[in-house]
Amino acid sequence: MELNENARIDTSQVDDRRGSGGGGGGLGIPIPIGGGRGGLIGLVVAVVLALVGGGYGLNSAFNDGDGGGGGDNTALEQRCAAEDALEQLDCRNTLYVNSIQAYWRTALPQAFGEQYRPTQTVFFSQAVSTGCGQADSGVGPFYCPADSQVYIDLTFYRVLADQLGAAGEFAQPYVLAHEYGHHIQNLLGTNEQVRRQQQRDPGNANALSVRLELQADCYAGAWAKNATGTADDTGQRIFTSITEQDIRQAIDAAEKIGDDAIAERANRPVNPDEFSHGSSAQRREWFTRGYDTGDPQQCNTFTS
């Protein structure tokens, strides 16, 4: 994977709240700092990181909130305008966001006849106030349907690499592209349709959640196929190349956060009835389908 050093990094697509104390207030789900089953791996992987790529249902997981205040992007703007911008984790992730939104700006009306509505990715540290209530870093990256924003504490990537074993750099844009897949579902009304179905048929709630998550994986794959065609607002390509090794890194990340892989790592029984995001094989299958076809219309997990 190579990013174009001449591409303009549009920091307006990010709300940098890392200097705001996480939005104030109490934490959502605490991150234990000890080791073993009751420590970081046990709770974060088994309970919290199962939400990675999620966000649907957070209104019921947390108390209702106001969405928090905006951050101060001044420092981010300065870093991302510097010559070494692409060496900075936050600037690279901002450019990933730029690419993902540039793709959907064209793909959504082409595939579904709907105009794309841009949204921000919120960078936060430790805790944040969202439209879905208070959350902390232990939740992992998530999308909040109530305020239509993506949330991520960038230190999550260390957990993804060190604790879950998905160290490839392309795992990062995959995670963000998955979250924006949930934004597409929100724009198309898929989120709300699933919510109503879950209310009518609570016994099938987990299975419906799995289909929602796998669709977001497929949307991420469709973006990955087309990412080298995305450009900044001056027409400069954002990615100059994406290799098969990069795609393998995305697939590896998808597999590492499958429900079965998370359960096994936490030494818990693997129970498909409890899955909320899909097995490693399912996540690999649907990301690959999106990538192989490059067509988000092929991502209908609800009729498959």
Distance, CA of 111 to CA of 58 (rounded, Å): 28
Distance, CA of 178 to CA of 141 (rounded, Å): 10
pLDDT at 55: 44
pLDDT at 127: 93
> Minimum mean pLDDT among 28-37, 59-68, 190-199: which range?
28-37
3-class state of residue 101 by DSSP: helix
pLDDT at 25: 33
pLDDT at 20: 53
Task: Work out the mean pLDDT of the chain and round it to a whole number.
Answer: 84
pLDDT at 287: 97
pLDDT tens digits, one per residue of 199-237: 999 998 999 999 999 999 999 999 999 999 999 999 999
Distance, CA of 146 to CA of 299 (rounded, Å): 24
> Minimum mean pLDDT among 73-87, 114-128, 256-270: which range?
256-270
Question: Phi and psi (nearest 5°) for 203?
Answer: -70, -20
Structure-token pair, residue 54: 């999620």
pLDDT at 69: 60
